[in-house]
Amino acid sequence: MPPLPRSIAHLDMDAFFASVELLRYPHLRGQPVVVGGRRALATTEGQEFPCLRDYVGRGVITTATYEARALGVHSGMGLMKAGQLAPDALLLPADFEAYRHYSRLFKATVREIAPHMEDRGIDEIYLDLSALNPDGTPDGARRIAQQLQHAVREATGLSCSVGVAPNKLLAKLCSDLDKPAGITVVTAADLPARIWPLPARRINGIGPKAAARLETLGIASIGELAAADPAWLQGHFGERYGIWLHRAAHGDDERPVVTESEPKSVSRETTFERDLHPRSDKADLSQHFTRLCEQLAADLARKGYLGKTIGLKLRFDNFHTVTRDQTLATPTGDAATIRRAAGECARRVPLERRIRLLGVRVSGLVRPGDIPPHATHTPTQAELFA
């Protein structure tokens, strides 16, 4: 007998930062509110909070309440542009301390019910509910999702949306289909009717550029992507991404829900606003490269790791992706060392096309205390060959 399909859930908090602000200022409920900008603004006399119309500057919206979204504003939009669409929306500064607190609280609450949890960021998690829903029925999945929503609301006062599906890819897509406070359960049999009509960009992993590229090739929906010849997709998007697109459109995803909190690697990557040329944009690229390595070093320090293997990832304008790595003699957390090693990896890649994405990864992670003391004095391979 084939194994029963898994019950995988993706839970994502609704308008997370803004909803946390509304816990503090409940009288603002029902009003358009956005979170953004760097610091609190001055208010006009008689006003408790500044309005978007009064905003001058280059800040962007971090998130917006659903009332504000109804006026056309969304995450990432410039605050001044948003001010034209929603002049009366109230603007609150971000308070990351508070968001982290509620993030920990909702995750702890969910873990009590569904311990097989993968932390995906400040406001989202994956859950493997298979053991809690042994018959794998949609009704069973829906009941657990309701229980989770209820528990999160009791513990935090916040609402979330849940998608349940046979895998992470579909669960993530589903949690977004009925926001806010939605529950969406799909099975493999629902794919043609419920998933294929959706735009391809709904798939996590198809960004705006890939979606635009698909569109120029005549593919708008997930169903059209599913119907496309995999070899043709590989021709346009490179071998790996082409295969991935094909599998994703067929709702095919075997990735497990990874509970372990010990990461295997730490990485940073960036997709450029415009594709950068390895020669004519060299200075720009180099700056991005250095910044990525600095961010990565800061991530490592924050998480308390050093790593031995430095990996580089480049994606070209034709979506072809290459990776190279280099293993150092001693684990490092140093931005300059990471930069040097990743730079050497770059020299092993033929650079003939424009670059759309640059990524750096550190793996082979260890805790600094785990390294024998004498080892830290050995020069790194990167230093020896610099």
Residues that bind ligand DCP (CB under 6 A): 12-17, 62-63, 75-76, 122-123, 179-180
Catalytic residue ranges: 124
Q: Which helix (H) or strand (E) holds 276?
A: strand 265-276
| Angle between the N-to-C axes of helices 208-216 and 230-237, in degrees from 0 to 180, rounded to the nearest 10 | 120
Residue among 106 and 305 whose Cβ is closer to ligand DCP: 106
Q: Which is nearest to 71 in space by CA: 51, 57, 96?
A: 51
Q: How far is the CB of 207 from ligand DCP (least distance, A)?
A: 13
Residue among 17 and 316 whose Cβ is closer to ligand DCP: 17
Q: How far is the CB of 159 from Mg ion (least distance, A)?
A: 10
Q: How far is the CB of 350 from ligand DCP (least distance, A)?
A: 34
In the chain, the amino acid numbered 127 is L
Residue among 17 and 244 whose Cβ is closer to ligand DCP: 17
Q: How far is the CB of 12 from ligand DCP (least distance, A)?
A: 5
Residues near Mg ion (CB under 5 A) are 12-13, 16, 123
| Phi, psi of 123, deg, nearest 5 | -130, 20
Distances (CA, A) of 102 to 36, 107, 151, 157: 18, 8, 13, 10
Q: How far is the CB of 209 from ligand DCP (least distance, A)?
A: 16
Residue with tokens 């049999």: 189
- List strand residue ranges (DSSP E) for the chain, in order: 8-13, 33-36, 61-64, 90-92, 117-119, 124-128, 160-165, 183-185, 265-276, 306-316, 321-332, 355-366
Residue among 20 and 346 whose Cβ is closer to ligand DCP: 20
Torsion, Cα of 128, 129, 131, 135 (10° steps) = -130
Q: Residue 263: is the preceding peptide bond cis (ω within 30°)? A: no
Residue among 16 and 305 whose Cβ is closer to Mg ion: 16
Q: Which does 75 bind (CB under 5 to 8 A by kind): ligand DCP, Mg ion, none?
A: ligand DCP
Angle at 153 between CA 103 and CA 143, to 5 degrees: 110
d(CA 165, CA 173): 9
Residue 322 CB partners (closer than 8 Å, separation 6+): 313, 314, 316, 349
Strand partners, 266: 362
Q: How far is the CB of 185 from ligand DCP (least distance, A)?
A: 18
Angle at 349 between CA 345 and CA 353, to 5 degrees: 135
Residue among 181 and 366 whose Cβ is closer to ligand DCP: 181
